[in-house]
Chains A and B, each alone.
Chain A
């Protein structure tokens, strides 16, 4: 701080407190709503403090499900989301590491062609090629499967670039030393490069886990089997019920359950998260 201005300090805290309130209030309301019986949420104004139905509501959600989603227990949806998020994350990191390794540490024909091919994926998000991608997945028989949820999303230009950038900073002497010790390329990759990349992998893991967990359009397209619904996509069946009134206490409970894992990851690994976010966007 350059100078002491009490009024400005007061204003600073006021802005921050307002900002925090604005960001937290919707989740507060969702938390409160999820602890009330259905009747409490049928007339306005709705309560602003917790009710006594928390245990009942969440037990019902996790074990019994909600009619609007065909009665699939949310524990099943959470599991599906988890499998999908982990599959996407691990897949993206694994194939990006090997691609970046090949592009940086080998000289081979078509190297740059592959590089640009991967670069192009940045410009083709799912949203702009919805139907044809769906057709490809359908013709491969991957609709309603975990592999259909995961494999089409594992290509990652950002992760490849991040690792490539990092590998370029690794000193050449390490390769020379490894070669003098007669270590082959795979040995070098496994014993030297991977341990060096640990922090980068961890930071990227957080960002990609959130990305995978929050997927919406993709599961919406390729799952029609209720047992494969992910939770982020499943909530749409509860909220958007057309003419009917959504069952708010269950819908909000679902929202809370759906945001716990990614929010927990961000809060528990804050420093890595910030590193991953700032670096993967470069």
Chain B
């Protein structure tokens, strides 16, 4: 945790940590405390007075069907994005780990979408799937006779934002899977091959189990990404619609607080999200600890 040899100075270390601690206190801890506090109050419409109501804001959320629906939407969205992007990334990483020819070229073409902002990923797919002129919507209509209109159909809107969110995340997962695959000792795979195991069998009995720390790590990271970082995708394209069908929890906090001006409820939603992040971060760190001793 610390050096054996240290410097002695009674004021310098405080000066060195001051900027970071100041920013943390002012912009992180204090607002978080404020959110906790105002989740226990109901403010009147003009902001003149507020009444302590205990957990009433949370109870109201629990009874609010649109909030429960948003919870379900978030789960469906998060799980779909995670499974879709991790699945594709694993397939690509397995392939990239196997090729010899053009390996670097493939890798270059596969990693750049990491740099594309979620908002831009959303806008790109919004354009591709636009019902009147998007090329994907056109193909769906021409080849399958399928009518695509995410402005009207809530499920289609959800599918669109899922694809956009997963598309952006593939590069990230790909890099971690590739690093995981490269750290598996070649001798294990060769031994399995000598024993006559087919490539598919080698994957399921040797590679996949050895990859499980990476998989678990990515699972948590992807869920956090899908729950929190995808606000931009939703906001820039569907605005939570049609009829709230793409209104995930983060979007709802923003909408309740900034557009609806309902401070108490927005704060209560913030607290629910905070609990969610804390739980997920805790899981992630426990896993990292385990990996260290492993």
The answer to whether A2 and B190 have CB atoms under 8 Å apart is yes
Residues of chain B within 8 A (CB-CB) of A259 are: 115-117, 120
Judge whether A124 is part of the interface by a CB distance below 8 angstroms: yes
The B interface, classified by DSSP as helix, strand, loop or mixed, is: helix
The answer to whether A108 and B14 have CB atoms under 8 Å apart is yes
Residue of B whose beta carbon sits closest to that of A221: B258
Complex Cα–Cα for A129 and B94 (A): 39
Complex Cα–Cα for A84 and B14 (A): 27
The A interface, classified by DSSP as helix, strand, loop or mixed, is: helix
Residues of chain A within 8 A (CB-CB) of B28 are: 120-121, 124, 129, 155
Complex Cα–Cα for A125 and B123 (A): 23
Residues of chain B within 8 A (CB-CB) of A221 are: 258
Judge whether A26 is part of the interface by a CB distance below 8 angstroms: yes
Judge whether A127 is part of the interface by a CB distance below 8 angstroms: yes
Judge whether B41 is part of the interface by a CB distance below 8 angstroms: no
The answer to whether B5 and A172 have CB atoms under 8 Å apart is yes
The answer to whether B4 and A129 have CB atoms under 8 Å apart is no
The answer to whether B236 and A236 have CB atoms under 8 Å apart is yes
Interface string of A247-282 (1 = CB under 8 A from B): 010011001001100110111001001100110011
Q: Bin the interface of chain A by size.
A: 35 or more
For residue B75, give the distance in angstroms from its CB to the closest CB of chain A. Answer: 17
For residue A180, give the distance in angstroms from its CB to the closest CB of chain B. Answer: 11
For residue A177, give the distance in angstroms from its CB to the closest CB of chain B. Answer: 10
Complex Cα–Cα for A130 and B249 (A): 13
For residue B58, give the distance in angstroms from its CB to the closest CB of chain A. Answer: 15
Residue of A whose beta carbon sits closest to that of B92: A19
The answer to whether A23 and B167 have CB atoms under 8 Å apart is yes
For residue B127, give the distance in angstroms from its CB to the closest CB of chain A. Answer: 6
What are some 26 contacts across the A-B interface (CB < 8 A)? A3-B193, A16-B96, A20-B106, A29-B124, A29-B128, A44-B133, A44-B138, A46-B133, A99-B20, A102-B16, A106-B6, A121-B28, A128-B32, A131-B263, A131-B266, A131-B270, A132-B270, A185-B12, A214-B116, A240-B237, A255-B123, A258-B117, A259-B120, A277-B114, A277-B175, A278-B176
